[in-house]
Amino acid sequence: MRPEEQPASPSLPWRTSSVFTMAAVGLLSRGFLYGLSRTETHGLDGFLKLLDERKDVEGRQRGLVTVSNHVSVLDDPMIWGTLPIRYLFNPDNLRWGLGSYDLCFTNKVLSTFFNLGQVLPTHRSLHSRFGGLFQPTVAQAIRLLSQGPFYSNDSATKANKSFKSPDLSDPFTNGHLTFSTNGTDTFPSPSAYLSRRHSWVHIFPEGKVHQQEDHTMRYFKWGVSRLILESEPCPDVVPMWIEGPQEVMHESREFPRFLPRPLRDVSITFGEKLDVEKVFGDLRARWKRLHQRDVGSGPEGKPEMGVLSSALKYADEAVELRKECTMLIRNAVLNVRRQRGWPDEDPKGGLVETYREEGARKTEGQMKDGSWIKDT
């Protein structure tokens, strides 16, 4: 659709509620980090400069992907409490996250809260047959990061001045203003609005909380590579390293488990923005060639952004590109980890095989290697 056919932004009540939700959570996080913990940041100034450049939505040239290790159930939202207060009131310049469908979207109240808090409903393969890296939510994330237009044929969604925003998951299925994660549920489609162009998406590619004495990471799932390979143009990428929240919410904690522990050291490091042309340019060019070949041979029209043919999902070359891309992203996070003074990890740490045995039997609690896993 042409830009002028896209609704500019969600309704005023929705935007107001979202500002309120994001700010309340942000202020609580900030209060906890600077009132009840000993918190230090590294590289924050550079990151804030990037956010400042992105403040004007119209002027943005590209999306932003931040990617980090995942050490506690409270990482998100806690880590965003490091942003100064004035940033916390501007959801258009704050992150979209991916939250577990089976934890965050189980009822109307939670679902509304997380929608307003810019969290996308994400199915986990372990818990749902709708999970995996081709679920509709990943397409939403790709569109959020992109410039648009997203749809090849959109006569259904022509601009309509009196159009009513389907904010609160009304069963309202006009055009692309809502989307479904499982074929029957309905969520407001965040990427439908112009104000969401070139958004910021944060992702924890480990997919679950990993608490390990030596601060190693699990292998990265490949969803993150779709965000980098398929978003148009290539988003900025900022790798991050998180330490300390595992002490705030250690998986071995006892009663009261839901209470974050105060007076711990927390350290949040924002790495340098990657030179995405240099790091991902070649992979993206290969992906484009693959995509063009596939689209050229398809039945009709251009596919919707973020929707792939089965060839593009499963062909060896497509899989290979995702693997390589994911490894580059993991290395970028490892670089930030190294800056924090941690010695290089055992190279096996990045491989799926290392975790296969564990995954087959036990999904939470303490693993044989001493690490603590929380399946969120």
Ligand X SMILES: *[C@@H]1O[C@H](CO)[C@@H](O)[C@H](O)[C@H]1NC(C)=O
Applying CB under 6 A, which residues contact ligand X?
Answer: 153, 155, 160, 162-164, 182-185, 300-301
Nearer to ligand X, 38 or 164 (CB): 164
d(C-alpha 71, C-alpha 320), whole Å: 28
Q: CB of residue 309 vs ligand X: minimum separation in angstroms? A: 15
d(C-alpha 304, C-alpha 252), whole Å: 45
d(C-alpha 1, C-alpha 50), whole Å: 29
Residue with tokens 């590209």: 62
Nearer to ligand X, 80 or 105 (CB): 105
Nearer to ligand X, 32 or 151 (CB): 151
Bridge partners of 210, per DSSP, are 373
Nearer to ligand X, 128 or 354 (CB): 128
Beta-sheet strands, E only, within the chain: 38-42, 64-68, 95-100, 119-122, 178-179, 187-188, 200-203, 209-211, 236-243, 265-270, 365-366, 372-374
Asked if residue 235 lies in contact with residue 224, where contact means CB atoms within 8 angstroms, the answer is no
Q: CB of residue 10 vs ligand X: minimum separation in angstroms? A: 14
Residue with tokens 């290539």: 234
Q: CB of residue 122 vs ligand X: minimum separation in angstroms? A: 13
Residue with tokens 């372990």: 126
Q: CB of residue 114 vs ligand X: minimum separation in angstroms? A: 13
Q: CB of residue 76 vs ligand X: minimum separation in angstroms? A: 22
Q: CB of residue 185 vs ligand X: minimum separation in angstroms? A: 4
Asked if residue 312 lies in contact with residue 303, where contact means CB atoms within 8 angstroms, the answer is no
d(C-alpha 302, C-alpha 280), whole Å: 24
Beta strands 200-203 and 64-68 are parallel
Nearer to ligand X, 31 or 301 (CB): 301
Q: CB of residue 184 vs ligand X: minimum separation in angstroms? A: 4
Nearer to ligand X, 155 or 252 (CB): 155
Nearer to ligand X, 41 or 180 (CB): 180
